[in-house]
């Protein structure tokens, strides 16, 4: 959603999402100790009726990481909320690895506690920065749909991002109106443009964008919302098409029917039909089919083949086995011999 005027309005909109858990469902709230996640915890506590459990993941990546963990534990205690501090066994090497390990740790804790959903503190500025980074790296239209208020996470947990409709500034304004035992923590690495590409974008590129378009965050969030709507519609159409293309064994697709689909739906039907395919492999198969090739196309982790008007994608070994026909017959029966007599020795000397 485009950024709302204030945090309570954004939270109200998020809670009305059809995928949001029931009002009495417990939530695991990920709190880093910074202002955004601290505001998230206070908002969920004071503006909703969800039972809350606080979680903090200590990556051990900064010298003061233990101080952040201690602050979160004290903050949760001041609110009379249960809190779990998760310490990773070894510091991740980079931010992407840290994010993956953090999500895995949160999903494991949620499963152990029996909590169905994890609330994260991503906001509108995070969304806009994510879109810009993905554009620069060459993403797909789905990548430009960005993050969503409700999404599937690791281990079956639902991920909630109730502050996506709220800017960093509006979160800070609301947080200033709330009583807290001590100010939120500050991560000094956030002010270092060399620490991550996201930092450089926020600290250097965003200033120039504001001169060109002061409401660039809102504009990019609106783009993400519209592309998300398109993604949902195309996924539904591709799913309907896939149901008519699949064979009885559900491991191949009707080639003629696939090629008559619009390319956008064809791409998604291929992805839904063969979900282990990477994006680049999907594009190579689409181009190969467009050129009217038959036979086999060898990819890095798969083999695509066209046979008898059907197209299939298999791992290399599975494709090899599918091309073979092994006929196994039982050995002839041993001849019966009179009692006490051994069968003849048929060895060749």
Residue ending a domain, choose from 165, 182, 212: 212
Is 99 within the bounds of a domain? yes
The answer, yes or no, to whether residue 327 has pLDDT greater than 70, is no
Q: How far apart are CA 158 and CA 150, in angstroms?
A: 7
Q: Which of 176, 33, 199 is nearest to 126 (CA)?
A: 199
Is 287 within the bounds of a domain? yes
Is 335 within the bounds of a domain? no
State the residue for tokens 């409401």.
215
User: Which token pair is 78?
Assistant: 């001041």
Sign of the torsion angle spanned by Cα atoms 270, 274, 278, 280? negative
Please indicate, yes or no, whether residues 255 and 173 belong to a single structural domain of this protein: no
Q: Is 145:224 a contact under the CB 8 Å cutoff?
A: yes
The answer, yes or no, to whether residue 319 has pLDDT greater than 50, is no
Backbone angles phi, psi at 2, to 5 degrees: -65, 150
Which residues are 55's β-sheet partners?
Answer: 30, 84
The range of the structural domain enclosing residue 163 comes to 7-212
Residue ending a domain, choose from 178, 212, 246: 212
Please indicate, yes or no, whether residues 95 and 244 belong to a single structural domain of this protein: no
User: Which token pair is 39?
Assistant: 């505001």
Sign of the torsion angle spanned by Cα atoms 24, 28, 31, 37? negative
The answer, yes or no, to whether residue 348 has pLDDT greater than 80, is no
Please indicate, yes or no, whether residues 315 and 197 belong to a single structural domain of this protein: no
Is 39 within the bounds of a domain? yes
User: What CATH number is associated with residue 62?
Assistant: 3.40.50.620
Domain count across the chain:
2
Please indicate, yes or no, whether residues 81 and 207 belong to a single structural domain of this protein: yes
Is 268 within the bounds of a domain? yes
User: Which token pair is 16?
Assistant: 């009305």
The answer, yes or no, to whether residue 267 has pLDDT greater than 80, is yes
Please indicate, yes or no, whether residues 64 and 185 belong to a single structural domain of this protein: yes
Please indicate, yes or no, whether residues 276 and 166 belong to a single structural domain of this protein: no
Residue ending a domain, choose from 146, 180, 212: 212
pLDDT, position 333: 62
Q: Is 67:185 a contact under the CB 8 Å cutoff?
A: yes
User: Which token pair is 76?
Assistant: 């949760």
**How many beta carbons lie within 10 A of that of residue 69, not counting itself?**
21
What are the pLDDT digits (tens) for 62-113? 888 899 999 999 999 999 999 999 998 887 777 888 889 999 999 999 999 9
Please indicate, yes or no, whether residues 244 and 188 belong to a single structural domain of this protein: no
In terms of C-beta density within 10 A (0-12 exposed, 13-18 middle, 19 or more buried), how is residue 214 classed? Answer: exposed
Is 344 within the bounds of a domain? no
Is 139 within the bounds of a domain? yes
Share of the chain above pLDDT 90, in %: 65
The more confident residue out of 248 and 333 is 248
Length of the chain (residues): 349
Q: Give the CA distances from residue 266 to residues 190, 257, 270, 272, in Å, rounded to whole numbers and listed in that order.
A: 42, 9, 6, 10
Please indicate, yes or no, whether residues 251 and 115 belong to a single structural domain of this protein: no
Q: How far apart are CA 32 and CA 69, in angstroms?
A: 8
Please indicate, yes or no, whether residues 130 and 82 belong to a single structural domain of this protein: yes
Please indicate, yes or no, whether residues 197 and 257 belong to a single structural domain of this protein: no
**How many beta carbons lie within 10 A of that of residue 3, not counting itself?**
25
Q: Which of 219, 200, 181 is nearest to 77 (CA)?
A: 181
pTM of this prediction exceeds 0.85: no
Q: Tell me the Cα Rg of the chain.
A: 28
Please indicate, yes or no, whether residues 122 and 262 belong to a single structural domain of this protein: no
Is 62 within the bounds of a domain? yes
């Amino acid at each position: 959603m485009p950024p709302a005027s204030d945090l309570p309005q954004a939270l109200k909109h998020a809670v009305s999402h059809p995928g949001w858990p029931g009002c009495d469902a417990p939530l695991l709230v990920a709190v880093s100790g910074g202002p955004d996640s601290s505001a998230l915890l206070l908002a969920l506590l004071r503006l909703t009726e969800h039972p809350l459990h606080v979680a903090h993941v200590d990556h051990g990546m900064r010298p003061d990481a233990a101080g952040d963990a201690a602050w979160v534990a004290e903050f949760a205690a001041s609110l009379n909320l249960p809190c779990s501090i998760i310490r990773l066994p070894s510091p991740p090497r980079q931010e992407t690895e840290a994010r993956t390990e953090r999500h895995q740790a949160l999903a494991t804790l949620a499963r152990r506690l029996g909590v169905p959903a994890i609330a994260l503190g991503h906001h509108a500025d995070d969304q806009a920065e994510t879109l810009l980074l993905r554009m620069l790296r060459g993403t797909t239209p789905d990548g430009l749909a960005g993050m969503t208020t409700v999404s599937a996470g690791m281990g079956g947990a639902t991920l909630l991002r109730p502050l996506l409709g709220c800017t960093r500034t509006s979160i800070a304004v609301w947080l200033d109106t709330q009583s807290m035992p001590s100010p939120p923590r500050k991560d000094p690495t956030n002010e270092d443009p060399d620490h991550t590409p996201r930092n450089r974008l926020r600290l250097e590129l965003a200033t120039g964008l504001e001169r060109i378009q002061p409401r660039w965050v809102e504009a990019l969030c609106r783009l993400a919302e519209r592309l998300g709507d398109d993604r949902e519609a195309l996924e539904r159409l591709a799913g309907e098409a896939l149901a008519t293309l699949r064979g009885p064994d559900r491991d191949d697709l009707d080639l003629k029917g696939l090629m008559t689909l619009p390319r956008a739906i064809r791409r998604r039907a291929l992805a839904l039909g063969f979900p282990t395919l990477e994006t680049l492999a999907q594009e190579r198969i689409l181009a190969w089919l467009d050129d009217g090739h038959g036979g086999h196309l060898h990819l890095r982790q798969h083999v695509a083949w066209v046979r008898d008007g059907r197209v299939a994608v298999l791992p290399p070994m599975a494709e090899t086995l599918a091309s073979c026909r092994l006929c196994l017959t039982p050995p002839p029966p041993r001849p019966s011999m009179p009692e006490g007599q051994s069968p003849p020795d048929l060895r060749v000397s």
